[in-house]
Amino acid sequence: MLLSKVVTLANVQVIIDGFAAMGFPNCGGAIDGTHIPILGPDHQGSQYINRKGYFSMVLQALVDHKGRFTNINVGWPGKVHDAHVFRNSGLFRRLQEGIYFLDHRITVGDVEMPIVILGDPAYPLMPWLMKPYTGALDTEKELFNYRLSKCRMVVECAFGRLKGRWRSLLTRSDLS
């Protein structure tokens, strides 16, 4: 009942300005996934064993510049990769259709840039999703990665606060 009141996209311009102050222009959020430990289900249990070897469900979240949740997707088995969870989410569809954010483009150099979200290397590179460069990097790419990482840390901190406040999310609940 509280989901639509607590997890909501607030004033987009304030979010963009917040990320710009942190070093990344025209950014509407940072995305990542975390694992919530669960009791192994009786059916399809192997699908819920994550890469770290325990049963879990994936919580994917988009957060604003202050680490407030603006979109969540929860319930995928722990074995499922972040990119798969993302590509099958309502958030992906709305971003792909251009309806999640208002059309607010800026020009960087000679390129028109839409509002973007920031992800780690697990996410697909899209016109509206930035991820870090990999491989041998020059100074400009290193600076880009530094700024992206600095802004993307808000989602890591948001998960830390969530699990710190709701300590039961750190260990599995022995409930069916």
Q: Check residue 104 and give its pLDDT.
A: 78
CB 149 within 8 A of CB 138: no
* Rounded Cα distance, 81 and 12, in Å: 28
Three-state DSSP state, 106 = strand
What is the chain's Cα-based Rg? Answer: 17
Q: pLDDT value at position 109? A: 80
The DSSP element (H or E) to which 3 belongs, if any, is: helix 3-6
Beta bridge partners of 173: 38
Interatomic CA distance for residues 112 and 71, integer angstroms? 25
Q: Which amino acid is at 49?
A: I
Give the pLDDT score at 175: 64
Quickly count: other Cβ atoms within 10 Å of residue 161's Cβ: 10
| Contacts of 95 by beta carbon, 8 Å cutoff, 6+ apart | 101, 117, 126, 128, 129
Residues of the chain with pLDDT under 70: 2, 175-176
Distance of CA 12 to the CA centre of its chain: 16
Could you give the 3-state DSSP secondary structure of residue 85? helix
Residue 154: the pLDDT is: 97
pLDDT computed for residue 168 by the predictor: 81
State pTM to two decimals.
Answer: 0.90
Measured over the CA atoms of residue 42, residue 48, residue 54 and residue 56, the dihedral's sign is: negative
Query: What is the pLDDT at residue 40?
Result: 84
Type of residue found at 42 = D
